[in-house]
Structure 1
Amino acid sequence: MHAWSGQGGDIMGPAVTRTGSAKANTPPLKNGSDLRETGYLIAVGSRTARFRRKHKNKMLLVTFLVFLLLLLCLAVVMTVLYVKQKRHKPVRICESKECLRSAANLALSIDKTADPCEDFYQYACGNWAEDHPRPDAYRSYDWFRDKQTKVYTILRDFLTKNTTDLPNPVQQAKDMYKACMDIDVLDKLGLKPVFEILKELGLPLYPTYLNVTQNNNYDDYNFDWIETVIKVKTYLGMDVLVGFDIFTDPKNSSIFRLVMGSPETTNPFPSMHNEKKRHNGHKSNSYYRIPINEEFDESFTVSYNHEKNRDENEDQKRAQAYKLFYAELMKLFVIETGNFTSSNINEIELDQKILATSNEYYNLYNELYELESDNETDTGDDDAYLNIPQYTADEIQELTDTVVSENNGTVIPVWKRYLEGVFNISDTELNFEDDKILVTEPDMKYLAGMATIISKTPPVLVELYVWIKVVEVMAAHTTTELRMIFQRSYDEIHSKKLSGSPPPRSLLCASAVNDMMGMAVSYAIADPNFFNVTKPKVQTMLYEMKNSLAHLVGKAKWMDDDTKLATYQKIIQMKTLIGFPDWFMEDGRLEEYYSGIEVTSDTHLKNMIQIIQFKIKKVLNKFRVGNNFTWATDPTEVNAYHTFQENTITVPMVMLQYPFFDLGLDSLNYGSLGTVLGHEITHGFDNFGRQFDKDGNFLPWWTNETVASFVNMTQCFVDQYSTFYVPELGEHVDGKKTLGENIADNGGVREAFAALRHHLHKHGPEPKLPGFEHMTSEQLFFLSYGNLWCGVSTKDSLKSDLEDEHSPQQFRAKGALQNNEEFARSFHCPPGSQMNPPTRCIIF
């Protein structure tokens, strides 16, 4: 059918004739486009339109897909090129001398045959002892002792070097060292310096009980022991029979209180065996174990065999060694006075008399020592510390008089007279109505027991006791002959086999000067750039550590909101003493600090006593002044401290040096010094530190619910550490005794690791350690922490370690890392391996 006229004629009807005004006939149109162009047709849904639209959409889709494909190919190519570039890009390696030194140290210490997931301590420290042989003078040797020995070596060289334009106290320290080193002068003086001091104290040149020129009838002999122990305290700073000190008030850290009890400072002089004394007095915790002062101290035990007969034999041998030592000591004094040559007895009779005298002393010593030992028993009751009774001097007198009378002793006034005598050398005047004295229940028991024993003991034997206690600590700092007697007796008493010699005299003298004038000798290590370089770095680390603990506290589900808020406040107010005091380099300040001290280069014993007296007066005069939160130690001590009653962390200068800091990489610094700082920060919230508030006052500030949850969680640590076994001794670690330190170790590692991650996220990835390119920063962090505890110990030392509040060093590394999930993840330790146990102990 055709719609238009064509060859076959009009199909639809006759043709229509238009008028003249009509348009001319349109030629035949061939397609829709032509129609649209002429306006006749409007495309609505023609087949052609639909076809072209469909075709056009397909083209767009194909074009889009091709574009996507090209983009995908480009991404693949770029990824391949990036990976290829990464593979061929040189690894950034730290080549500083600090990094090279750290790398060499770690490489020499590591035992690559050990599996870090089974025994990480062996892995990190297995070869340490081979590269660091233990000197004969030490029962144990580790990074802390190694560093302290090097510090003494630096001090020795500094004290012997000709220097000018230094503060006067530094020159006095040099003079003190010279006097200590002048053995010829010491031998020439003999016992004369001790004789002069005995006269000052009102004591005879040798015990009256040993009188070789008169009959032994001492019924009418009088000895004012109270007056003598007062003089010993004020002249030597030494406690004999009575212990007295001034401590921070537990409930108000801004003031000081008088404290009395059993003797604390039994040896005011530096140890001849280079051992640090325990810190007594106000509660403070140290990072590193402080070795027991072994200067002929009965508190040191060396018996390991549990067989009863063997123990008794060992005790008898030690007792005999003590008696012989005291006999030799007394005989030297008798001979030095020249009285023996004018007596009517021969040397055999003299020896017999001296041995009998030594035996009398030893019996009285044991009787008093039992009282002191009972007082040292740790009840574990922290509330007892909070509720220490306070008394007037008259009330103490009344309580002790009652016990003395009940035991048929002679009552005499003691305590008010003692306190008045001690404060007579100061500018402070006591008010016996208002100035109460803190005396714990065990201390009161000791004071009453001691007063009873002394009241029933012949005065001549009391004098003997005081004489020996005083002389034995002074005589070691006199002649070569006496030092040899001390050393031989020391070895016998403590079953030592130390090749017969203590550390070199030069190091002993450097240690002694450091002990007496620590701030002055710190000039040897003081760096003017410290305030601009090192201190800001450490402050940043401390800030990050505190932040880390705050975040961990925020995540703790066992703490309620009130306790968390109080914890945040304590963290914020925690003070830090870093390096050395801010005033240290200021002109005139060191002279002011040591104002009043006199030192000469030829009076060794007298020099030490003058410094002791200076310190005693300083302590007594500050009684009314109040607490100004001073340093817990000298800048030269290799340790760190948290002083609970001041909410303060002290980090001495030598802890900011190799091998604890300045190790080249942040991962190594945070794994070493960072964990030390974290340890001390965590102490503020461990089983004891948690009871001191933000101002350092011993007051409950945790809610009862939080305390209950905390105590429940600590049992995990007690159980875990109690499983650690020391095969050399056949004994386990005491998980309860070491609880506080274990909590601090674990918290310190977790805080330091979190701080490191934050630090690296902020500052970017660190370079690789040469030789350890395969290790990540996280692995180096844990390796640095493990290396911190490398050391070697004798059986004697291990025994001492088990009696300490710190766990033995290998378990300080093992325990903290067993409880750290990040460690197991970093070293890919399989579940159930030693270092990836199914149960972990976590508080912070």
Structure 2
Amino acid sequence: MWSAAVAALCLSWCAPRLAAHVIVPRSEPGVCSTSGCTRAAITFSETMNVAADPCDDFYSFACGSGLKTTAEAIKMNSEHDKQSIVKNQLIEILSEPVSNDTVMAFRKAKTLYRACTNSERREELGLCPARKVLTSIGGWPLLDDNNVCNNSSKCDWNEITFKLMDVGVYSNYLADIGIVPDVYGRSTWTLMATRPGYNVDSTLAELLNEDFLYDYRRKFKHIADMLMDTAGRSASISRLDLEVAQMVDFEVALSKIAKNEDTWTNFTVDALKSRYPFVPWTAYFYRLLPSGVYLADSDVVVIEDPAFLDALQELLQNTSDRTVANYVVGRVLMEDVLPHLNAESRRAVKSFASDDSASVQEKCLDMVHESMPILTTSMYVRRHIRGEVRAEVTEMVSNIMREMRLLLQNEAWLDEDTRRAMKEKMANMKYFVGYPDQLLNDTLLDEFYSEVDVQGENLLEIVLSLSKLSFHHFCSKFNTTLAMMDWDLPITWAPMTLGQFINAQYTTITNSLTIFPGFLSDLYKPGHLDSITYGALGTVIGHEISHALDTDGSSRNGLGMLEDLWKNSDTKKMFQQRVQSIAEQFGNISIPGVTAPVNGTISRDENMADITGQLLAYRAYVRLREAKGGEEAGLRIPPQPKDGATRKEGHVLSARQLFWVSYASVYCSVYNPNLLNVELVLDRDDPHLPNIFRVTGSLRNHKEFANDFSCPARARMNPDTKRLVWGSAPSNEISHNA
């Protein structure tokens, strides 16, 4: 997925910037002087470093003014600005009083938000909601020295999990069980089991040593102390210390057996029960599936990583039931229960990386959006998205998709069978732009949320009720046909986080591109420049489209099912060599002040998508302008006071230069080099490199970029060797019969 960097600059014309020495060619079509262009030019001027040489350091050229003026900031970028704007818009909507005309479903979303922001009610309830959950599931063993798990159901993690599902908690911290699209040949939703997530990463624990684990253990002990103090202390301190240590050690062991090696293997229900008897699979499945559904022993279950289940089975055999039960209940309290209670509870479970600067309103918005994404999205698009925007963006997607097909048609190194398979996949790709029309249907929304009870403003109870609704709605799709254009699929369109809300995303298992609503907000202004739109947003769309043919995407066909699209081993080897070349290039990027190594291998697909997305959007833009009759106007960037009085006229960016600067503006960030070194170490498994590496590394691979800025040969941004996977044929030499 694109690394969440679509920008606030979209709200101010996706603004770019320019350098002092740039000379616009005599063939420059002119300068745009509309009010929109004037606003965009001012925005560019506020963030550009006009002293930088774009052929040497394009990142400073496009983003350098911010780098100079806020050099001590840890990280600031356009994504943060964009999210802040969208958050404020949603908070305003949720905070507005209910009127007689308010849709019933919207009233429930507003009630949930009010319950979250109502600190008096949350303090009044205290830990009572948590104790109610514990009573329902049989308690937390470590709170009671006398509970020695003689009663097997008290410490049976399966029984505890079943009881948690009954109250609305579906998080399974040993193995995630649910449904997914069948990727092996049937276009239906099928049962699956995957690895869960862990708070303790084994490599991170080693890196941060004992301090990290000490803080984690202390959190669990504090939670236990709170619950015992309100219910009467029962466990001894020494016993509590021991059991918490055993819990955390168990989680570390779990993280070590989760190797992140997806092998996605089909099992029949019967084979699954035979190989992994430690899980009562049939009981699990019937709790997930709608009543009346019959499950045969021959039905298929997709297992993400059979080796993980093998190792989990052995680990559980060597771990006491009490420790496993303590771990499961402890994780549920920390992540599913206490975050919705009073201030002390929230402080106790605060994430290691949480942002204390977030307001109560922002945190409650995040919670409401994650619980009711359909409603927050519906309210947002009704207020902030113009209806015609979807058609305009759909046209841009079509233009960029056409360029991808042209690349495939003209790649000389592809064999014909591979070319045919890849063109077929691109032809089958579906795209969802903005939102489904169902979000504008009040009756459908009211029906969907009809069973949600928001009376009493007990936040935890409302959240658990919504959890039940969403989970059962999702699982009701079992054995139904996988409709590739079904907007109702949560994994297809529902933006579960605000990071997704302002984003675009390619989904491999459905071969679909989704452009979420926040991506569209204030996207177009009257008289907008195509160069800005295609540079800032078209490159993002191209990035996501290109993921369909990256190292993972090329292993699935147009229906999202597993199929190697490389039909010739020699062709596949050439692809791998090209990808490796990009990995090596990014691994050798040098940024002043940054000494930490760059992982060019793990980031190779994202870097390849950046490079390809830029090329697709650029060619689509050029072809669009040809269809419209020629080059569009550029922008005159006004001088800023810091530039001195010598530049009275400012600088002019040509339209094509504006394309590249608009792209970089999406990724403008401010970094402290020392903290950037830390980030590269801690996030070494993140496929998205820090923004400065993405811009610097990708643009140097385009001769079009070098030509537009008249970069001399062998300049830092114009090396002799261009690392391209796709697009080796020049755009003016390709056939247009795709």
Distance 1:163 1:182, change over 3 A: closer
- The DSSP-based 3-state class of the residue aligned with 1:254 is coil
Pair 1:480 & 2:343 matched: yes
**1:781 aligns to what?**
659
CA displacement, residues 211-260 of structure 1 (integer Å, 9 cap, x when unaligned)? 36x5x866677533211112324521111323212111112362122222
Question: Which of 281, 295, 305 pairs up with 1:416?
Answer: 281
The question of 1:331 aligning with 2:219 is answered: no
The more displaced of 509-518 and 790-799 is 790-799
Among candidates 217, 234, 240, match of residue 357 of structure 1: 240
Where 2:189 maps in the other structure, the secondary structure is strand
Q: Does 1:395 align with 2:271?
A: yes
> Which residue in 1 is equivalent to 2:16?
none
What RMSD over aligned residues (CA atoms) do the two structures have, in Å?
Answer: 3.0
| Stretch deviating more after TM superposition (749-758 or 713-722) | 713-722
- AA paired with 2:364? C
Structure 1 residue 698 displacement after superposition: 1.5
Cα distance between partner residues in 1 of 2:40 and 2:202: 37
1:375 to 242, 246, 258: 258
1:784–1:601 CA distance, 2 compared to 1 (3 A) = farther
Among all aligned residue pairs of Structure 1 and Structure 2, give the percentage whose two residues are the same amino acid.
Answer: 24
- Whole-Å separation in 2 of the counterparts to 1:782 and 1:814: 12
1:650 to 510, 514, 519: 514
The answer to whether the Cα contact below 8 Å between 1:678 and 1:748 also exists between their aligned partners in 2 is yes
1:211 paired with 2:66, answer: no
Q: Does 1:766 align with 2:705?
A: no
* Residue 231 (structure 1) aligned to one of 140, 152, 163: 163
Task: For residue 583 of structure 1, give the secondary structure of its aligned residue in structure 2.
Answer: helix
The answer (yes or no) to whether the contact 1:575–1:648 under 8 Å persists in 2 is yes
Q: Is the 8 A contact 1:117 1:833 kept in 2?
A: yes
Equivalent residue number for residue 146 of structure 1: 81
Deviation string 1:781-801 (CA, Å, 9 cap, x unpaired) is 000011111113444544444
> Hey, what does 1:102 align to over in structure 2?
40
| Matched-pair contact (CA < 8 Å) for 2:384–2:521 | no
Matched AA of 2:185 = N
1:445 aligns with 2:307: no
What's 1:262 paired with?
A: 195
Instruction: Pick from 827, 838, 841 the counterpart of residue 709 of structure 2.
Output: 827
| CA shift digits 1:154-184 (9 cap, x unpaired) | 1111101135424322111100000000011
CA distance in 2, matches of 1:766, 1:198: 66
Is 1:751 aligned to 2:684, yes or no? Answer: no
Find 1:366's aligned residue among 221, 228, 249: 249
Task: Indicate whether 1:299 and 2:201 are aligned.
Answer: yes
User: Is 1:840 paired with 2:726?
Assistant: no
Assess if the C-alpha contact under 8 Å between 2:503 and 2:519 holds in 1. Answer: yes
What corresponds to 2:323 in structure 1?
461
Quick check: 1:647–1:684 contact (8 Å CA) kept in 2? Answer: yes
Paired residue for 2:364? 509
Pairs within 5 Å for 1:781-800: 781-793=659-671, 794-795=675-676, 796-800=678-682
Partner of 1:433: 298
Aligned residue among 573, 586, 591 for 2:446: 591
Could you say if the C-alpha distance between residues 823 and 424 of structure 1 is closer, same or farther in structure 2, counting changes exceeding 3 Å? closer
**1:156 and 2:17 correspond:** no
CA distance in 2 between partners of 1:464 and 1:533 (Å): 54
Distance 2:556 2:39 in 1: 41
Which amino acid in the other structure matches residue 227 of structure 1? E
Pairs within 5 Å for 1:68-79: none
The DSSP-based 3-state class of the residue aligned with 1:236 is coil
| Aligned mate of 2:684, from 773, 793, 802 | 802
Contact persistence 2:75–2:670 (CA under 8 A): yes
**Residue-pair matches, total:** 670
Check whether the contact 1:154–1:524 (CA below 8 A) recurs between aligned residues: no
Query: Counterpart amino acid of 1:228?
Result: I
Deviation at 1:334, TM superposition (A): 0.7
Q: Give the whole-Å Cα distance in 2 for the aligned partners of 1:647 and 1:640.
A: 14
What's the CA shift string for 1:295-336, capped at 9, x where partnerless?
Answer: xx2239768xxxxxxx78x42222222222211111110111
Name the amino acid aligned to 2:265: P
SS at match of 2:375: helix
Give the SS at the match of 1:626. coil
**Where does the alignment leave 5 or more consecutive residues of structure 1 unmatched?**
1-85, 267-296, 304-310, 344-349, 379-383, 402-412
Secondary structure of 2:483's counterpart equals: coil
Residue correspondence of structure 1 range 425-824 to structure 2 within 5 A: 426-454=291-319, 457=320, 459-473=321-335, 474-487=337-350, 490=351, 501-527=356-382, 532-600=387-455, 602-629=457-484, 630=489, 631-634=492-495, 637-657=501-521, 664-704=528-568, 705-725=570-590, 730-764=595-629, 765-771=631-637, 774-793=652-671, 794-795=675-676, 796-824=678-706
Would the alpha carbon gap of residues 645 and 417 (structure 1) be closer, same or farther in structure 2, given more than 3 Å must change?
A: closer
The CA deviation at 1:747 is 0.7
**2:6 is matched with which residue?**
none
Q: Is the 8 A contact 2:506 2:547 kept in 1?
A: yes
Matches of 2:575 and 2:328, distance apart in 1: 47
**Residue 632 of structure 1 contacts residue 641 of structure 1 at CA under 8 Å; is this kept in 2?**
no
Deviation digits for residues 650-701 of structure 1, max 9, x if unmatched? 0011112357998931101000110011111111111111122122221123
- Distance between the aligned counterparts of 2:613 and 2:125, measured in 1? 52
8 Å CA contact retained: 1:691, 1:701: yes
Give yes or no for contact 1:327–1:354 (8 Å, CA) kept in 2: no
Q: Give the alignment's TM-score, normalised by structure 2.
A: 0.84
Q: Report the secondary structure of 1:252's partner residue.
A: coil
CA distance in 1, matches of 2:527, 2:116: 36
Q: What's the offset of the Cα at 1:541?
A: 0.9
The aligned residue for residue 17 of structure 2 is none
Distance change >3 Å, CA 680–CA 661, structure 1 → 2: farther
Q: TM-score scaled by structure 1?
A: 0.74
Contact 1:261 1:446 in 2 (8 A): no
- CA separation of 1:142/1:668 partners in 2, compared to 1, >3 Å: closer, same or farther? same
> Whole-Å Cα distance in 2 between the matches of residues 840 and 721 of structure 1?
12
SS of match in other structure, 1:591: helix
Local SS of the residue matching 2:457: coil
Secondary structure in 2 matching 1:141: strand
Q: Per-residue CA shift, 1:375-432, capped at 9, x if unaligned?
A: 2344xxxxx64xx33223443343346xxxxxxxxxxx53335424533665533222
Change (3 A) 1:581 1:132: farther
Distance in 2 of aligned mates of 1:327 and 1:475: 14
Q: Is the 8 A contact 1:140 1:797 kept in 2?
A: no
Give the superposition deviation at 1:648.
Answer: 0.8
Output the amino acid matched with 1:319: L
Aligned to 1:122: 60
Residues 730-754 of structure 1, C-alpha deviation per residue, up to 9 Å, x if partnerless?
3222222111111111110001100
With over 3 angstroms needed to count, the CA separation of the structure-2 counterparts of 1:625 and 1:663, relative to structure 1, is farther
Match 1:113 to one of 42, 51, 56: 51
In the alignment, the residues of structure 1 paired with residue 313 and residue 452 of structure 2 have an alpha-carbon distance, to the nearest angstrom, of 38
Q: Which residue identity does 1:375 align to in structure 2?
A: A
Change in CA separation of 1:433 and 1:827 when aligned onto 2, cut-off 3 Å = same
Relative contact order, higher structure (CA 8 A, sep 6+): 2
Q: CA separation of 1:675/1:420 partners in 2, compared to 1, >3 Å: closer, same or farther?
A: closer
CA drift of 1:356 comes to 3.8
The answer to whether residue 198 in structure 2 is matched with residue 198 in structure 1 is no
